[in-house]
Chain A
């Protein structure tokens, strides 16, 4: 077990390093940089000499390898550098923007899970074939809705028409209602699809027949025999979907004007603010790696078949 753990942590560290290096190389390879964009602006009236001096003060003119080693060293100590565009440390930018995104992503993911489970189990429980058909076609509908379009429609309907959710000066939780929904819908679709398939699959397994022969009714079988068996493989999908969640958050924050990492990313891309982008890439990779590590480590806890014999006997 400990060898397995070390192996997985080693893999996670490698992924982080690779994400850092690849994004570093790509950001360096781009023509121009944040300093040029900010200070070459003719309105500022700076000479080429002065711009070069500013570049030197940011250490932007040292060899790439030196910059790479310096940056990685700083990252390891938790120093993400300095945002040229905003003129503040990247750390304080992240501190200002991260909470909104964390709230949005967490709530979005929770709602997506609830929606997926509702769709999947209702479609299995319903005695009506037509309702089952409707519920099972919902995921393919959900997956084809673009997030930005759904966001705009939600604002149109719930804020402007029905005036249920204020757009001007909403409360801290009110402002999250529509974005969370817009984010959750496309994420819930693949989850629901996998879950519906798993439930159907588990229902055909012989042990379900044995449970029925014991006299168990449909609800009993679904909750006590099918649910856990069907949810286990869904866990893997949930880990992978985290990537979708980040991508969805960027669009959602832009549509709803939320002050989160998504908006920060958008602005940083526009101004080629390499330090900010580098930090966001590494941070996303870190979150992705941690979530998938947790999923992998959770499996043996939830599925007795994956525990080693020694572990069970102990």
Chain B
């Protein structure tokens, strides 16, 4: 498609690439006629939602397509040499040495039974790049280079002893070890907390500048691409929608799809306060959730106690949305588990709709669960794969009421149509639905008992932005129609700003900031809140950074 006028020859040229997956008999094409190029030292972002073919394209470049995938047509030129049809044996000399990979999921991308040092050193052994007695020193200096403290100790540790951000640094160390010409970063930060995400992206940027390595950044997040990329390639259903300089694509998108993506992405900077926030001034105190001095301790090593939640207090008004924000380990999950009565707090008081939770036991506790329902992050894992959608949604009624089967199903159908699920989906099983549809089912299941409070635990985090926008709209509509109260747990401050009235910012189990969303985000009182806000991607293109 577009060819940038160039003096330097590109590191990578992809031309007319078509990739198909076979399923035994038929072949289905996943990537159609994709062309783009990357110059030395340049960052190009492949942006698209799930199923857009961005990962398939990236995998084909490093020759790691799934076994049933095949490059049908087109070429992948690395420094002018077409490697699209190279054998595995030929590609093995390129992988790691000239093209390397920073994978998506640092949690599972390191071998759990080998030390960090062995896994970093391995790349030198595979390529015979260093004398064996020089490898250990080189590994330690690499680990230091990617910003790991105590690199000699880290080299002796195993992956489970490191945090997600540290593991991603290790994987980056592996990727830069042989100073490759191209690094493919496949959603390198989507599994990480927002402040860690910023540091990791900064590190990749820094190394790119230092080594002159080109980076192919694969991401679903347009704002990450906006911050980090020189050029953006937007993919949808395996076809390029548009490509060009990042600033141009973002400022004046030519394709309707890019415009749609931009509109759907919850942008932090442009968010307006919720119109429904007028109650704040009304002065009526009708708090449906009261958390007062909540403490939850766990037994630690030996006799020590670990405080997951430390003296946390907040109140949520009936019919409003309260967000609980924090990074992993901040105590978000423990807090909401206590609120729904799955976990007994060590100290403190939780009152839901005037009922003190700590007094409830047995059947009273079970009946209480009608009032407060849960929507989980993973819309696939939380639905029984062997039940039909109708059974899934009708099941809670079986536990709580003596309705006849036909009445239960009628009620379930009504709720399912209320959350916008097509009529023909009710007989299907979860695997036959898309991610957004599954999350609608999870919401319907939570609503079927007519609860007053809905706990949404990262309920939209796993969804594509356009789907996310639709689910958020549904949630807001349901709230105003049914008078629901939401407890919205999220790491995504842009979404939080868009949907919630009040917020509690947690760190290490403590409340560091809280109150009305606009106050907290515009005048953050704590350093941590400020750091969180600054880490949000999409606040300025790379040129400005």
Chain A residues with a Cβ under 8 A of chain B = 205-207, 209-218, 220, 224-225, 228-229, 232, 302-305, 308-310, 312
Contact = CB atoms under 8 A, between A and B. Distances in A.
A190 to B, nearest CB: 23
A128 B253 CA distance: 50
B96 interface: yes
Consensus secondary structure, chain A interface:
helix
Q: Point out which of A215, A229, A232, A303 has the most chain B C-beta atoms below 10 A from its C-beta.
A: A215
Contacts of B109: 206-207, 209-210
Given A209-B64, A212-B95, A305 B112 contact: yes
B88 A217 contact: yes
Given A207-B110, A224-B122, A303-B113, A213 B161 contact: no
Given A209-B64, A212-B95, 17 more contacts: A206-B108, A210-B171, A213-B62, A213-B96, A213-B100, A213-B101, A214-B123, A214-B126, A215-B126, A225-B111, A302-B113, A303-B112, A304-B158, A305-B113, A308-B301, A309-B301, A310-B301
Contact of A215 (B93, B105, B108, B160): B93
B10 interface: no
A310 B300 CA distance: 12
A210 B110 contact: yes
Contact of B158 (A209, A217, A305): A305
A229 B127 contact: no
Contact of B161 (A209, A224, A303, A312): A312
Contacts, number: 84
5 contacts: A206-B108, A211-B111, A217-B88, A218-B88, A229-B111
Contacts of B110: 207, 210
Interface in B70-121: 88-89, 92-97, 100-101, 103-105, 108-115
A281 to B, nearest CB: 38
Contacts of B158: 304-305, 312
B122 A214 contact: yes
B64 to A, nearest CB: 6
B336 interface: no
A309 B113 CA distance: 15
A207 B88 CA distance: 18
A304 B101 CA distance: 26
B330 interface: no
Q: Please give me the 8 A-B residue pairs with the lowest Cβ-Cβ distance, nearest first.
A: A215-B96, A213-B101, A215-B95, A214-B96, A304-B158, A206-B108, A206-B109, A214-B123
A207 B108 contact: yes
A304 B122 contact: no
Given A210-B171, A212-B95, A305-B158, A217 B89 contact: yes
Contacts of B100: 213-214
A225 B100 CA distance: 19
Contact of B113 (A211, A213, A228, A312): A228
A252 B322 CA distance: 70
